[in-house]
Structure 1
Amino acid sequence: MTTEVSLSPITGPSAWRGDELAGSTEWIYLLSDAEREELEEVGRKFVADDPDLRTVVAADYPLSAATGLMEECARQMDAGRGFVLVRGLRTEEYGDALAGAIFFLMGLHLGTPMEQNQLGNVLDHVIATSNKTLDDPGALPSRVRDRLPFHSDSSDVVALMCLRASKEGGASSLVSGTTIYNEILRRRPDLAPLLFEPWHWDWRGQDPDALSETYVSPICSYVDGIFSTYAGSTMIFSAQKYDGVPRLTEDQIELLHLYDEITQEPGLALDMDFQPGDVQWLLNYAALHSRTEYIDWPEPERRRHLLRLWLKRDVGRPLVDGFGKNVVKARGAEEKKIVEGGAFHIAEAVVPNQDWGN
C-alpha cells in the first residue's frame, strides 16, 4: 500500500461538476419492468417473512433479474461518479412497509447495514418532526427543514429512499469531493497539503454516547492512486471547545472556509428533486451531500419523508489508517450500550419516531 499526498489534479469520473450533469440523465438508472417486478416480488416475501433487520443477509433474498441493477450501482459508487439515482419504483402504490423492504433488501446486496442511533436501528428517517431550525438547541439535522451544509456521513455508503416529497424545495444536493480538491489545489496549492494531515472532529457532538470527545481523521486520503474525501467543517470547528484539542492554525481555518465556499459556488453541486420511489446510492468517500431548504405539506401524513441506510461496503478500497468516523465507530461498537426500544422489523422500522428532534 502506497500512501501519497497528491499535488496534481485528480482525474476520472469522480471529478464531475453539477452544471455538466444537470442537463443529462446519465446518472439516473431507470428500472426495467423485469427488475421492478422482481424487487416487488422479493420485497413482498421480505414483508411476509418479517426477518430481524439486524441479522438478515443478502443470501436470504437472492436477486436474478435485478443483478445488473446492483452491479451498476456498485460500479458507479466504487469506480464511477460515486453515486447513482434509481428511479421506477411505484412506492405510492405499495405502502411504506413494502417500499422499505425493497429499499432494505437492495441495501443488503450492496453492503452491511450499520446502526444509526443509540437504539441500534439500522433503518432511519429524514423527516421534519418540529418547526425547529439548526440554530435551536437539540435540533437534529435529519429532523429540520433547513438547508444543510455539505458533509460526509458515518459510513461507507449512505442511501436515501423518497417515500413522500416536500411541497416545495428539499432537493438532494451532491458535490464531488474530487472537484473540490482540484479547485483548492488550483487556487491555493500552499494549503492543499493540509487536507492530508490529521484533524480533530467532534465525536461527542455527533453522538452523546460516544466513547471519546473527539476522533482524528484527515480530510483527504490518497492511497495506491485512489482519492477519497471525508469532510464537514462544522464538526472540526466544534471540536475546538474541548480541552486538549490543538488550536486550529490560521492556515487551517482559512482552508476550511475556502472548502465550504467552494462547495457553495454556482455550478459545482448537482441538485436532484426526489420523486416518490427514487433511491439514491452514494459513496461517502467520493461525494459530499446536503439538502436544500424546503416547505412541507400541512398534513402530517403528507410530510417529506425519506428512509436512510448506512452501509459498510468492504470491497478493499485503500484508505489511510483511521480515515473517517466509521472506523472509530466500528472499533467501539461492542462497548456501546444499546438502549431498549429499537425497531428491528420492517413494519415498525418504516414508522418514524415523531418525538425525535422536538
Structure 2
Amino acid sequence: MSRSTPVRTSCDACASSCATASVSRCSIASPSSATRSKKIARSRGCSAVSSGASSRRNGTARWSTTFATRAQLEYGVRRSVTNLDLVFHTDAAWLDLPPELVGLYCINPAREGGVSRFVSLVTVHNELVRRHAPVLPRLYRAFPWDRQAEHAPGDVKVAWRPIFSYDGRGFMACVNDKLIETGAELAGEALDDEARASLTATRALLDAPELRVEFTIERGQVQFINNRQFAHSRTDFTDAPEPHLKRHMIRLWTREEGRRTFHG
C-alpha cells in the first residue's frame, strides 16, 4: 500500500482505495476504552488522529459523537450526527479533493434501525445513459453545493462542482441533492428545470431497490467504500437509553493525493 493521506479520521484501520471497490465487512477485535480518548493511531503506514469530543477550529469540525433527536436542523449541523435517515450521498462532496476511501467501524450499533445502503455510481451513470440520456450533460456541469459551514468564518458558503466528472485519470461522482438544494438557496440562484430534471432522474435511480445492497452493521465490524464511485445512505434509528449502549461509530476518511488537511 502506498502512503495515503488521512483527511478526517478517528479510526485505527485503513485500506487502499480501488476503482472497483465494493462494500466489504470484516470483524476485528473489540476496542479498549482508550478508543474513546484522543490518540495517534498508526496502521500500515497511515497516521490518524482520533478524538472523542467535537472540536471546531477556523470553522472546521474534526469529529463529533453527538446525536440529536428528530428536530429542526440548524444551519451547519450535519444530518449524520442525528438519528434521521440519510439520503444517498458521497462524503464531503463539495471538496475539490473529496475522500477516496471511507471506513466505518462499529463500536455499538443502534438498538433499532440504522441499516446501511450502498449503490454504485458507475451503475447509476450507465442507467442514466440507458434511460434518461437527455439529462446527462447537465450532470457534468456545476451545481451549487452547501459547504455545511465547514470553512473559516467569512469564507463563501457555497462551492460549485458537477455531479459527474472525468479528469483523464478516472470517473468521479459526487452526490447529495439535499446539499445542492440548500446550496442553491444560499447562492440565491434557483435551480432551473433542466437541473431539477437531472437531479430527479438521478435520485430515482439512487433509490431503486434493484441497484443497491444493504446490511445492518454489527459490533466489531468495519465497512470500507470507494467514496468517489459509490454512494451510501442510512435509515433512521432508535438509540438505546443506556449511555454505554448508545450507537457509537468511528469514521475514517483517506485519500492518496493532496495535503494532510481537510481541503487537501
Task: Output aligned runs, 1:150-165, within 5 Å.
Answer: 150-154=88-92, 155-156=98-99, 157-165=101-109
Question: Normalization by structure 2: what TM-score?
Answer: 0.77
1:124 counterpart residue number: 63
Tell me: CA distance 1:233–1:122, structure 2 relative to 1, closer, same or farther (3 Å). Answer: closer
Secondary structure of the 1:190 match is: helix
**C-alpha displacement at 1:136, in angstroms?**
3.6
Q: Is the 8 A contact 1:125 1:142 kept in 2?
A: no
Question: Does 2:13 correspond to 1:79?
Answer: no
1:159-188 CA distances to partner (integer Å, 9 max, x unpaired)? Answer: 211110111111222211111111211111
* CA radius of gyration, larger in: 1
Q: CA deviation at 1:212?
A: 0.9
Structure with the higher strand share, 1 or 2: 2
Q: Deviations over 1:122-175 (max 9, x none)?
A: 9634552x3234x44355313211110111112313221111011111122221
Correspondences of 1:221-236 after superposition (within 5 Å): 221-224=165-168, 226-236=170-180
Give, in angstroms, the shift of residue 224 of structure 1.
3.0
Q: How big is the shift at 1:278? A: 1.4
Q: Does 1:299 align with 2:247?
A: no
Matched with 1:183 is 127
Q: Please give the alpha-carbon distance, in whole angstroms, between the structure 1 residues aligned to 2:170 and 2:57.
A: 35
The Cα shift of 1:255 comes to: 0.9
Change in 2 beyond 3 A, CA 1:312/1:122:
farther
SS in 2 for 1:124: coil
| Residues 1:146 and 2:90 aligned together | no
- Please tell me the root mean square deviation across aligned C-alpha atoms, in Å: 3.6
Output the CA distance in 2 between the equivalents of 1:276 and 1:210: 41
**Identity rate, percent:** 21
The one of 162, 170, 173 aligned to 2:114? 170
Aligned partner of 1:17 in structure 2 is none
Q: Which has the higher contact order (CA 8 A, sep 6+)?
A: 2
Q: What aligned pairs does 1:91-106 form with structure 2 within 5 A after superposition?
A: 91=30, 94-98=31-35, 104-106=41-43
Cα displacement (A) at 1:210: 6.5
CA 1:241–1:101 in 2, change beyond 3 Å: closer, same or farther? closer
Residues 144-293 of structure 1 correspond to what in structure 2 (within 5 A)? 144-154=82-92, 155-156=98-99, 157-203=101-147, 205=149, 207=151, 209=153, 211-224=155-168, 226-243=170-187, 246-293=189-236
The secondary structure found in structure 1 opposite 2:80 is: helix
Is the 2:146–2:183 Cα contact (8 Å) retained in structure 1? yes
Aligned residues: 244
Residue among 15, 25, 28 paired with 1:89: 28
Residue 247 (structure 1) shift = 3.4
* Partner AA of 1:294 in structure 2: F
Q: Distance in 2 between matches of 1:113 and 1:261?
A: 38
* CA distance 1:146–1:184, change in 2 (3 Å): same
Matched residue SS, 2:83: coil
Amino acid at match of 1:124: W
Secondary structure at the counterpart of residue 267 of structure 1: helix
Q: Kindly indicate which of the two structures has a greater share of residues assigned to helix.
A: 1
Q: Tell me the CA shift for residue 218 of structure 1.
A: 1.1
**Displacement, 1:282?**
2.1
* Contact in 2 for aligned 1:201/1:214 (Cα 8 Å): yes
**Is the Cα–Cα contact under 8 Å of residues 158 and 310 in structure 1 kept in the other structure?**
yes
Asked if the contact 2:111–2:237 (Cα under 8 Å) also holds between the matched residues in 1, the reply is: yes
The answer to whether the 8 Å contact 1:200/1:239 transfers is yes
Distance 1:327 1:194 in 2: 31
**Aligned mates of 2:47, 2:174 — CA distance in 1:** 19
Q: Partners in 2 of 1:166 and 1:314 — Cα distance?
A: 34
Give me the whole-angstrom Cα distance separating, in 1, the residues matched to 2:107 and 2:62: 14
Structure 1, unaligned stretches of length 5 or more? 1-52, 55-60, 62-68, 316-325, 331-358
Cα deviations across residues 22-49 of structure 1 (Å, max 9, x unaligned)?
A: xxxxxxxxxxxxxxxxxxxxxxxxxxxx
Question: Any idea what SS the aligned residue of 1:329 has?
Answer: coil
